[in-house]
Each structure stands twice: as structure tokens, then as C-alpha cells.
Structure 1
Amino acid sequence: MSQTTLDYSSLESSSKWKNLPPPPGFTKSSSSLRIPAKKSTVSTESYDALKDKRAWDVAIAPAKSLPMQAFMLYMSGGGVQIFSIGIVFMLLLSPFKNVAGLNEAFAQYAPTNKKADSLTTLPLQKIVYILCNLLTLGVGLWKCRSMGLLPTGTGDWLAFETRGVVRP
């Protein structure tokens, strides 16, 4: 077997890419490209405004996913099968899980300048988040009603109805 070695150092002197300027924001050093030492200053007000915007995105996320969930419910059909029951179960369970993890969902978006507890930070976003989850729960209950899983008619309660004694 022959041993072959490749020498790439000869390519460096004859490369047509050697004379290109560095990309914007980078400077050429002796060993490699590096980011310049100039740092941008971001004020805490703009950082808190960005965190507030992200908190609103989290707050309305359940409402944004509602059209896809409604389409999944439509495609699962109106019958009582394991697939449709699974989708409805997931739809009914997710609002409870989301509301239980409410403070964890918004913990990273708390303003840096306030030293308040987790219940009083971002109250409006948390209320909207709960309302969007209640809307998701309502869609799930509507699907259960349309499938006949909720006892909404008088015939559903006949087992609990008592009749008076008939006297001759």
C-alpha cells in the first residue's frame, strides 16, 4: 500500500479567495476571524419591552393553536372511536396542564426591574393565557357534546329519576 499525503499549504498561496475582504462585522487576525470587541449597549427598558412582547406571544399561543386543533377534531369524525377519544382527551387535558404550569411558563419573561412575587408579575398576560386555555377547553367540551359523551338530554338522566307511588 502506498501512503499518500496531501499538502494544502500550496493552495493557500495560489488561492483566488485569499484576497477577499473579511465579512462585515469581522476582522482578520493572524490565526482566525474574530468578532470585534465593540459591544452594543441594550437598555433595560428595551429588554423589558422585548420580554413583554414575548410574554404576549406565550399568552396567545393557545389561541393560535386552536384552528389546528379544531381541524383535527373535524377530521377525527363524530363517532366514538379510540382515535377521536384520544384527540378529545388530549384537547381537554392540555388546558389543565397549561394552567397548572402558569408561573413556570411566564417565569422567564418577568421584568428585571421589579422584585415582586410570581403571582403579581405580568397579570394581564396571565389572564389572557387562562382565557385562551378556557376557550380550548370549551372547544373540547363542544366536541364531547357533539359526540354524545356529555349528558345533556333528559333521557340521559332517566336512571336517576324517581316516580311517585301510584295509589288505587
Structure 2
Amino acid sequence: MSFSLDYASIDHPRWKNLPPPPGFSNLPSANAKTPAKVAAAAAASYAALKEKRAWDLAISPAKSLPMQAFMLYMSGGGVQIFSMGIVLMLLLTPFKNIAGMNTAFAPFAPATSNVKSLNTLPLQKMAYLACNLLTLAVGLWKCRSMGLLPTGTGDWLAFETRGLSPEISLL
């Protein structure tokens, strides 16, 4: 038994009135964009993507704050090796991030600007700086709650001098 398909019997005008399947659009060549317009649109979308990624990098220190706060809570309030390691990490990381800020934002800088300039992506860099300072503030708060920061008057007694008492003679 043989099977054959005759394509000549298909009625083409009947199938031309069907809408295109989802996701397919049959654009006529008259409405097609010129290569210059396509290149400009691609460059604009690439610039928008770079700016979005720069904002993601800018707020990334704030995204890790809840996890770091939980680690601080779990480390306890005493001065122990694990709590000191976590606090040290929390205090040093913002300084490392701020020192390497221009290098971190270099891939997202516009092609026409200087990568090392502070005028390149200024809002993103200010947000990055603020998020790192917030992380530093959490670390300093933990140091204060552990009693490592000199906050009371008793912490400065070594630097105080006694006043001279007046000599009194009762004779």
C-alpha cells in the first residue's frame, strides 16, 4: 500500500485569508526599517540596558544588608572570634567597594565619556556610595552594641587630667 500527497490539489486562495500565527508578522518590505534606524535603535536599547545594569550595581550593597544583619544577629552580642570576623568583614567591605567604585562602574560608562571621571554615572555612584555608607553604619552600630566603641565618659578617663586642688592651711 502506497501513500502519496498531491500538493496541486490544495486551494491556495482559501488559505491566504487566515491570520498569521501568534508571534509572526508578515511585514511588507516598504515598511521595513533602514539599517541606520535599526542600528540607532539597537544602540539606544544597549545604552538603556547599560544604565539599568549600573543601577543594579548601585543598589547591590543594599540588597545584601538583610543577610548581613541576620548574620550579625546570629553572631551574638559578645566579643568572640566569629562575631569579630563578621564585624570586621562588615567594616572593611564598604571601604573596598568605595575604593574600587570607578572600576566597578567602568563597564557601564557611555562610550563617549571618561571612565574615571566622577561626572560619569553620577546618580548611580552616589547611590552606591550611600548604600556602602549604610553598610558601614550597620557595622559601627554592632561595634557600639558590643562595647567596642568609646561612647561613655568612662572610656576617656585616661585622657582626663585632674585639676590642682587649692592649698588650705588651717593653722
Q: TM-score, normalised by structure 2?
A: 0.72
Identity %: 73
Q: 1:83 to 1:117 in 2, by over 3 A?
A: closer
Higher mean C-alpha deviation, range 116-125 or range 53-62 = 116-125
Query: Where does structure 2 lack aligned partners over 5 or more consecutive residues?
Result: 1-37
CA separation in 2, counterparts of 1:52 and 1:115? 14
Matched, 1:86 2:79: no
CA separation in 1, counterparts of 2:48 and 2:116? 18
CA separation in 1, counterparts of 2:82 and 2:131? 25
Partner in structure 2 of residue 118 of structure 1 = 116
Amino acid at match of 2:107: Q
Q: 1:117 to 1:105 in 2, by over 3 A?
A: closer
Partner in structure 1 of residue 146 of structure 2 = 147
**1:41-81: CA deviations, max 9, x gaps?**
66111100000000000000000000000000000000000
**TM-aligned CA deviation for residue 111 of structure 1:** 1.5
CA separation in 2, counterparts of 1:59 and 1:130? 8
**1:92-117: CA deviations, max 9, x gaps?**
000000000001100000123x2335
CA separation in 2, counterparts of 1:88 and 1:63? 17
**1:97-150: CA deviations, max 9, x gaps?**
0000001100000123x2335222111100100000000000000000000000
Query: Where does structure 1 lack aligned partners over 5 or more consecutive residues?
Result: 1-39
Amino acid at match of 1:118: K
Partner in structure 1 of residue 69 of structure 2 = 70
- Larger CA Rg, structure 1 vs 2: 2
CA separation in 2, counterparts of 1:126 and 1:71? 26
Partner in structure 2 of residue 95 of structure 1 = 94
Runs of 4+ more than 6 Å apart: none
Please say if residues 106 and 115 of structure 2, whose CA atoms lie closer than 8 Å, have aligned partners that are also in contact: no
